[in-house]
C-alpha cells in the first residue's frame, strides 16, 4: 500500500509540490512567530541569565530589575558585608536612560558597575573593559544602528562618554544595554554613593535558606529576592501587557495556519477522489482506502512540516541578520505542539473526505 500511496502521490508531482508548499508556508509562519515570542522572553532576562547571582537586593517595593527605578538606603551595602555565607556582593546603578545620538533620543538600559567587582558586560565583541569614568561600553547593535564605533563620543544627560568597547548579546527589542562605571552613573543621576541593586552570590556548600534568613535579619526596609523570582517578575511585568497582542498574533497564525494546512490536504484528497474511486472499483476495501489516504496525508504533512520549520529557521536567521536587535529562538518545546497539531489536522482533513468517499458507490465518485 505504501508503494501505491507514493506512486499515486507522485503521479502529479507539481500538484504535490503545491500542496507541500502550502503546508510549509503556514507552518513556517506559526514557527517563526512563536520564535519571536520566545526571543522576547530570552531578551528580558538576559542580564540576570548572564550575571549569575543568587539574590537581588532592591529598594522596598521594587521587585524587578527592569521595571522601575531602585535606590537602596545608603548603608545597605556596608550592612551586607560580612554576612556569613555570602561570597560576592556586586553593587550596580541601573535604570533606563535616554542617550543623545546624532540629535536623536535613544532609550538604553544603563548599568553602572565596578569593573573590579563585576556586573558589567558578559561578552565583549570588540574593545576593552572600562578604565575611566568618561568611558562607555555600548551594545554593538546600538552602535551599528547609529553608525558609532570604538573611539567615538556620545552624550548621556549632557555628559560626554568615549566608546571603548562593544558588547554582544546585550540588545533587546525594548532597549539595548550600555555600561559605564558606577561612579559615572552616580554622577549622571546626581546621586553620589547611590546603589540601585546589590547582586549577591552564596558561597558554595552553604545553605541558601539560612543565608537568606540572615540577609533578611540584617537588611531592613529593602527587598531581598532570589534571582529567579526577579527574572519572573521582569517577565510578568514587561512581557505580560506587551505580549498580549503578540500572543494573539501567534494564536491567530496558529489557528489560521493549521486551518490552511487542513484545507490544503482536504483539497489534495478531494482532487484524487476519482483515483480512490478506481481503487474501490477494482475491489479495494475501505480500510485500504483509509490507509492510502492516511499515508498520503502523513507524507504531505511531515514533509511540509519539516520544510516549514526549515523555512522558519532561514527566515529567523535573515531577520536577525537584518535586524540584530530581534532574537528568534526556535525551541523543541515550542515546535512540538505545532508538529502534533499539524499532523493531526492533516490526518483529519484527509480522513474526512475519505470517510465520505468510502460510503459511495465507485461509479458515484466519478460522477461527482
Partner 1 sequence: MIRLAWRNLFQNTTQIALGVGGVALALLLMLAIDALLAGSEDDLVAYIEDSGADIFVSQEGVKNMHMASSAITRSDLRLAAQAEGVATVSPILYTTSVVETKEGDVLSYIIGFDPMEPLGGPREIVDGTLEIHNKEIIIDQAVARSQEVALGDVVEIFGEEFTVVGITAGLTNIVNSVSFITLRDFQDLRGDDRNVISYVLVKILPDYSAKSVAAEITARNPDVLALSEAEFSRGERQIIRDMSVEVLNIMNVSGFLIGLAVTALTLYSNTLHKRSEYGVLKAIGAKNIHLYTVVVAQAFISLMIGTVVAIGFILLLGQLLPALVPGVAVTLTASGLLRVFAASLIIGGLSALVPAFQIARLDPAEVFRG
**Can you tell me whether residue 339 is helix, strand or coil?**
helix
19 or 167, CB closer to partner 1?
19
Give the x-and-dash track for 89-108 against partner 1 (CB under 8 A). -------xxx-x----xxx-
- Of 5, 29, 137, 297, the residue at the interface with partner 1 (CB under 8 A) is 29
Tell me the torsion sign for CA atoms 212, 214, 216, 221: negative
Q: Does 249 bind partner 1 (CB under 8 A)?
A: yes
Task: Classify the phi-psi angles of 10: left when phi > 0, otherwise alpha if psi is within -120 to 50, otherwise beta.
Answer: alpha
Question: Rounded to an integer, what distance in angstroms lies between the CA atom of residue 275 and that of residue 298?
Answer: 18
61 or 344, CB closer to partner 1?
61
Q: Does 297 bind partner 1 (CB under 8 A)?
A: no
Question: Rounded to an integer, what distance in angstroms lies between the CA atom of residue 159 and that of residue 189?
Answer: 11
- 166 neighbors 126 (Cβ within 8 angstroms): yes
309: nearest Cα among 31, 17, 7:
31
- Of 16, 42, 68, 329, the residue at the interface with partner 1 (CB under 8 A) is 68
Considering only residues 123 to 182 of the shown chain, the ones binding partner 1 according to CB under 8 A are 158, 173-175
From the list 73-81, 116-124, 256-264, 285-293, the region that binds partner 1 by CB under 8 A is 256-264
Q: Does 272 bind partner 1 (CB under 8 A)?
A: no
Q: How far is the CB of 234 from partner 1 (least distance, A)?
A: 10
Q: Does 256 bind partner 1 (CB under 8 A)?
A: yes
Q: Which residues contact 202 (CB under 8 A, 6 or more apart)?
A: 54, 85, 86, 87, 208, 211
- 304 neighbors 22 (Cβ within 8 angstroms): yes
The b-or-e profile of 47-76 (16+ CB within 10 A means b, else e) is bbeebebbbbbbbeebbbbbeeebbbeeeb
Per-residue cell: 226: 532570589
| E strand segments, 18-71 | 55-59
- In the block, cell 526571543 appears at 39
From the list 2-10, 33-41, 82-90, 197-205, the region that binds partner 1 by CB under 8 A is 33-41
175 or 289, CB closer to partner 1?
175
Q: Does 232 bind partner 1 (CB under 8 A)?
A: no
- Of 168, 278, 315, 329, the residue at the interface with partner 1 (CB under 8 A) is 315
Q: Does 22 bind partner 1 (CB under 8 A)?
A: yes
183 or 236, CB closer to partner 1?
236
- Of 195, 233, 338, 341, the residue at the interface with partner 1 (CB under 8 A) is 233
230: nearest Cα among 47, 37, 15, 38:
47
- In the block, cell 541593586 appears at 197
Contacts with partner 1 by CB under 8 A lie at 14-15, 18, 21-22, 25-26, 28-29, 32-33, 36, 40, 59-64, 67-69, 96-98, 100, 105-107, 158, 173-175, 233, 236-238, 240-242, 244-246, 248-249, 252-253, 256-257, 259-260, 263-264, 266-267, 270-271, 315, 319, 323, 325-326
Amino acid at each position: 500500500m505504501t508503494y501505491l500511496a507514493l506512486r499515486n502521490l507522485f503521479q502529479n508531482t507539481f500538484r504535490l509540490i503545491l500542496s507541500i508548499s502550502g503546508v510549509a508556508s503556514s507552518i513556517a509562519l506559526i514557527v517563526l512567530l512563536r520564535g519571536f515570542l520566545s526571543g522576547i522572553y530570552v531578551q528580558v532576562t538576559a542580564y540576570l541569565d548572564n550575571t549569575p547571582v543568587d539574590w537581588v537586593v532592591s529598594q522596598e517595593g521594587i521587585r524587578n530589575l527592569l521595571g522601575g527605578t531602585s535606590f537602596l538606603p545608603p548603608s545597605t551595602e556596608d550592612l551586607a558585608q560580612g554576612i556569613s555565607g555570602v561570597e560576592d556582593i556586586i553593587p550596580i546603578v541601573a535604570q533606563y536612560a535616554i542617550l543623545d545620538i546624532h540629535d536623536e533620543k535613544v532609550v538604553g538600559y544603563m548599568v553602572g558597575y565596578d569593573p573590579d567587582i563585576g556586573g558589567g558586560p558578559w561578552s565583549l565583541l570588540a574593545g576593552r573593559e572600562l578604565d575611566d569614568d568618561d568611558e562607555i561600553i555600548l551594545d554593538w547593535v546600538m552602535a551599528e544602528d547609529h553608525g558609532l564605533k570604538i573611539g567615538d563620543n556620545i552624550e548621556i544627560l549632557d555628559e560626554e562618554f568615549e566608546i571603548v568597547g562593544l558588547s554582544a548579546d546585550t540588545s533587546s527589542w525594548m532597549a539595548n544595554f550600555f555600561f559605564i562605571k558606577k561612579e559615572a552613573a552616580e554622577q549622571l543621576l546626581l546621586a553620589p554613593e547611590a546603589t540601585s541593586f546589590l547582586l549577591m552570590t552564596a558561597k558554595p556548600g552553604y545553605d541558601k535558606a539560612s543565608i537568606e534568613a540572615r540577609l533578611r535579619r540584617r537588611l531592613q526596609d529593602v527587598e531581598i529576592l532570589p534571582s529567579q523570582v526577579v527574572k519572573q517578575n521582569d517577565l510578568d511585568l514587561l512581557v505580560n501587557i506587551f505580549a498580549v497582542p503578540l500572543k494573539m498574533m501567534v494564536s491567530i497564525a496558529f489557528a489560521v495556519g493549521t486551518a490552511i494546512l487542513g484545507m490544503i490536504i482536504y483539497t489534495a484528497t478531494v482532487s484524487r477522489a476519482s483515483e480512490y474511486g478506481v481503487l474501490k472499483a477494482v475491489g479495494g476495501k475501505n480500510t485500504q482506502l483509509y490507509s492510502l489516504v492516511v499515508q498520503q496525508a502523513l507524507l504531505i504533512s511531515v514533509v511540509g512540516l519539516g520544510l516549514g520549520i526549515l523555512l522558519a529557521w532561514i527566515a529567523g536567521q535573515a531577520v536577525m541578520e537584518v535586524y540584530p536587535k530581534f532574537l528568534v529562538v526556535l525551541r523543541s518545546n515550542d515546535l512540538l505542539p505545532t508538529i502534533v497539531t499539524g499532523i493531526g489536522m492533516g490526518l483529519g482533513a484527509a480522513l474526512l473526505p475519505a470517510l465520505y468517499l468510502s460510503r459511495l458507490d465507485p461509479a458515484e465518485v466519478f460522477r461527482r
